[in-house]
Structure 1
Amino acid sequence: MEGRVMDKEQVRSLTLAFLMIGSVMLGLFFLGVETDVSDKPPTIAGEEPGSFLIGEVTSITISVNDESIEELELEVSLNEERISDTYVDGNGEYLADISELSTGEYTLFVVARDYLNQETTWETEFTISYPDEGVTEIILDDFETTIEHGSDAILTGNLTHSSIESCDFVWSDSDIEQEQLNVPMDDDGLFSMVFSELNENLTITMEANCGEYIFSTDKVIINYIVEKQQIDDENSTNEDNNTV
């Protein structure tokens, strides 16, 4: 009898033990399912500026969402170079400052990691370029380049560029690389010069260099030919012949 009672007690103990183990395992299972459902990886959204002119975009806003934003770890790199002190604010936003970047192509890469080591990545590519400034062009008016001996030579025209104030406009009657003077012009690039009482041929070289970011150059050469007064010489010759 006693042996049979012991068997019943053992069976009861084992049954309770199995029930307890099963309950614990089932609880852990549901706990795991609940954790997976309620604690998801972070989500990232951000501005994607694409291509723009230098100075038009100075920052890129990145928004991160997570159940525990205060425990979030953020890694940000620009062209594979890690940016230090990258933290989101109370609204889950991070402001990437790009105001000091020069022209070129860039990739901004972001990694957001929560306290369970679940991570999400996001990236955007953008290009910074200089504005189109056009070309530098020296436009000459129509004027006489054949000049009577002792007469004045006139040189007029217009310098064109999108940013006239950036232009360096010079001229020379010799080697412009060695000796040069500024060309007098107004705010619209109009210029006028007079070379008085020419007695011999004259070559004028003009050169303009313009641009704030993208530089361009134009160069022109003007040749003035001075005609001698042959009529007076012929009259003198005829008078000598008549005297003989």
Structure 2
Amino acid sequence: MDKEQVRSLTLAFLMIGSVMLGLFFLGVETDVSDRPPTITGEEPGDFLVGEKTSVTVTVTDESVEEIYLEVSLNNAQLPDTYLDENGQYVVDITGLNPGTHSLSILARDYLNQETNWETQFTISYPDEGVTEIFLDNFATTINHGSDAILSGNLSHSSIETCEFVWSDSDIDDSSLNVGINENGHFTMDFPELEENLTITMEAKCGINITTTDRVTIHYIVEKSEADSSSN
């Protein structure tokens, strides 16, 4: 092989090497330009039961069809989590109970580049107000043998849910129901009192949030001189 042939072969190898090196750097540049996925999602925050039924997350990537998606709700991984043609996934939250919940998303591309996204939200019951027993202005000092009156109003936003009871002993041991009308008004009478009397009333009301009120009424029986002398 003469010098000219050697020179030609050397130039050929150099050209091939340059092409291969260029392709290598081209591949490196392509990989560098392929960034990790980006995730955007709704931030539900605090809301009432039934106001929101889902949370939508969106993944953006150069090859979104190759994204591996992992969705966890309250640290429990959900099955069959695939992005739609718009790169979105809708998380169904209709089955969640009131309280604080967490949602986490992991998106991984074909280069194993990962992105994580998290949010927390709180579901609450609607405010139902409080339970209150309002007493009328009736006499609690009673003449011996006279009748005692007890009347007033029970107040709550859902009066039909109320459990309203009374007792002249320990109300936690024994009690009777208090009758009320649709507006919560009640009236009771205790005829011909001869001894002091203590009445305790308690009401518990609420659909999802129960509140309680308790009142105690003391009736004092005053005996006349004739009653005292007869004793």
TM-score bucket of the superposed structures, by smaller chain: 0.7 to 0.9
User: Which whole-Å CA distance do the structure 2 matches of 1:232 and 1:168 have between them?
Assistant: 40
What amino acid is aligned across from residue 50 of structure 1 in structure 2?
G
Structure 2, unpaired ranges of 5+? none
Aligned length: 230
Written as runs of structure 1 = structure 2, the 5 A alignment for 1:210-225 is: 210-225=205-220
2:132 to 115, 131, 137: 137
Q: CA deviation at 1:60?
A: 0.8
The question of 1:195 aligning with 2:227 is answered no
The question of 1:97 aligning with 2:96 is answered no
TM-score of the two chains, using structure 1 as the length reference: 0.82
Shift in CA distance, 232/197, structure 1 to aligned 2, threshold 3 Å = closer
TM-score of the two chains, using structure 2 as the length reference: 0.86
1:21 to 17, 37, 55: 17
3-state SS, counterpart of residue 193 of structure 1: strand
Q: CA deviation at 1:231?
A: 5.1
Between structure 1 and structure 2, the one with the greater Rg is 1
For residue 51 of structure 2, what is the aligned residue in structure 1? 56
Q: Deviations over 1:121-141 (max 9, x none)?
A: 211122233444333221111
What amino acid is aligned across from residue 54 of structure 1 in structure 2?
V
For residue 38 of structure 2, what is the aligned residue in structure 1? 43
Query: For structure 1, which segment, 194-203 or 223-232, has the greater mean C-alpha deviation from structure 2 after superposition?
Result: 223-232
Written as runs of structure 1 = structure 2, the 5 A alignment for 1:19-168 is: 19-34=15-30, 36-37=32-33, 39-168=34-163
Q: CA deviation at 1:35?
A: 5.1
User: Which whole-Å CA distance do the structure 1 matches of 2:60 and 2:182 have between them?
Assistant: 55
Q: Deviations over 1:107-158 (max 9, x none)?
A: 3111111223222221112223344433322111110112233332211111
State the percentage of identical aligned residues.
Answer: 56
User: Which whole-Å CA distance do the structure 2 matches of 1:28 and 1:157 have between them?
Assistant: 90
User: Which whole-Å CA distance do the structure 2 matches of 1:35 and 1:26 have between them?
Assistant: 14
RMSD value, Cα = 2.5
